[in-house]
Amino acid sequence: MAQALTPERGHPLGLAFRVEATLPTGQRGSYLSSGNLGLLPAVVVDRSFDWLLGVHFAASVGLRLQSAASSGNLDVGDEWEGRLAAGLKLPASLSFPLFAFVELMGRTSLASPFSDADETPFWGRFGLRAEWGGASTRHHTTAGVDGGSTRGYGSPDYRLFVGHVFERRIVDTDGDGIRDEDDECPTVPEDRDGIEDDDGCPEDDVDRDGVPDAADPCPTEPEDFDGHDDDDGCPDLDEDRDGVPDVDDACPSDPEDLDGFDDDDGCPEEDGDRDGVPDHLDECPNEKETINGVDDEDGCPDEGEPLVEVTSEKVTIDSTIQFAFDSADIDPSSHSLLDQVALTIKANPQLERIRVEGHTDERGPNAYNLRLSQARADSVMRYLVAQGVSQRRLESVGYGEERPLVEVTGEDAWALNRRVEFTIVDQVTEEPGLERTTPLP
């Protein structure tokens, strides 16, 4: 209990769980040991009272678990053990703190508490405790005397004791989680900005873009991480916000239309009829292409119903994208349908972000279905990119069997639930563009 009597200030009440173990090193025949191992789990509470000269009180109660032992008419087994102590820092003019403490201790049988005085020892203790040490080490020396107040076993007439504890302290002056001995800046906390966080020193980074000011040509302007020179610490200006930096943008004031034609030059391609086919490739620049799988690249309307439609939330298809069995390989029979999806997306530049979603039926392990649906969504997205849809407008996700269209089982239901959908994530509403190309009457 003496350790609890040198408290850390600022904590009005302390609570701890302690476990002690004892080894039978003494001679049993000399009544210096029971000859058995012992274990003492205990709960400890303590509190300081500044108004009472700073006196610190502590109390504990626990169970002393040990093998049964007998000697004459004395039978000892598991016991309750309690302690009550008080300590005070003495106003000594020494170079180290000195504490005085008193402690009362007692034990009694767990099976029959206080029923036998011989099995219920009580004794008291008085002692002094001195502490000294440097910044990283601390020494505690304790000495005193104790004596018994009952005739219970182990309760002495008087006894002298002395002890010494040496401990290595973990000192962290600036509280940054790095010990002073390993901290290159022990009084200045590390800023945890992902840059040399183990040295204990903050790296100056005014704009918090992860590039230290010493290496940042633009220390007050954060890097915009747009994929262009993201390591130089400077934002790459993009006036028309089309994703092409002004330094590389041939049309810095006109946003690129991301229609799959020269999307890296930063310039929109003229498309008078807004059918997704640039005028310089459009055989009918004043008439919209009917995207239906019939000569869709000539820019002219054709007979035949479109299979792809743009709604407020999705790009819908009137058929199912087919894959090879148990595979993410797209069946060639679905290429025409995906070509129409690609052309429809390019013809609707207001659709800024589209999510390709893969779904499976309920058969098979869920983890496998998730992987398969993700692979199929990725495969469709790659196909659309190959057909000229900008990668920046697409994302993919696989949902496995988590989002079925119908909650029944059977071949028909499974066929409906195996699908790829195109969900509109972000779009410009001011200029809706085409909602559907219409066939010739």
pLDDT in tens, 47-96: 888 777 778 899 999 998 887 777 777 778 888 999 999 999 888 777 78
> What is the rounded CA–CA span in Å between residue 390 and residue 419?
23
**Enclosing domain of residue 9:** 2-168
- CATH code: domain of residue 363: 3.30.1330.60
Here the tokens at position 251 are 């049309």
Is 250 inside a domain boundary?
no
What's phi and psi for 378, nearest 5 deg? -60, -40
Is 90 inside a domain boundary?
yes
Is 95 inside a domain boundary?
yes
**119: number of Cβ within 10 Å:** 20
Q: Is the pLDDT of residue 391 over 80?
A: yes
Least confident of 26-30, 159-163, 205-209, 392-396: 26-30
Largest Cα–Cα separation, the chain: 117
Tens digit of each residue's pLDDT (9 = 90 or more) over 233-248? 787 777 666 777 777 7
| The last residue of a domain, from among 128, 151, 168 | 168
Assign 3-state DSSP to the chain and report helix, strand, coil percentages, each to 5.
15, 30, 55
- Co-location of 21 and 143 in the same domain: yes
Q: Coil, strand or helix: which one is 119? A: helix
Q: Is the pLDDT of residue 311 over 80?
A: yes
- Co-location of 17 and 164 in the same domain: yes
Alpha helices in 140-215 (DSSP H): none
| The last residue of a domain, from among 107, 138, 168 | 168
> What is the rounded CA–CA span in Å between residue 380 and residue 407?
25
Residue-level pLDDT at 228: 67
**360: number of Cβ within 10 Å:** 24
Is 103 inside a domain boundary?
yes
Is 259 inside a domain boundary?
no
Is 222 inside a domain boundary?
no
> What is the rounded CA–CA span in Å between residue 122 and residue 155?
6
| The last residue of a domain, from among 168, 185, 212 | 168
Is 271 inside a domain boundary?
no
* H or E segment to which residue 305 belongs: none
Domain count, the chain: 2
Residue-level pLDDT at 224: 72
- Find how far residue 361's CA is from the centre of its chain: 32
- Helices 366-386 and 335-346 cross at an angle (nearest 10°) of 60
Whole-model pTM above 0.85? Answer: no
Is 99 inside a domain boundary?
yes
Beta strands in 50-176 (DSSP E): 55-66, 69-71, 74-76, 79-89, 98-109, 122-132, 137-148, 159-168
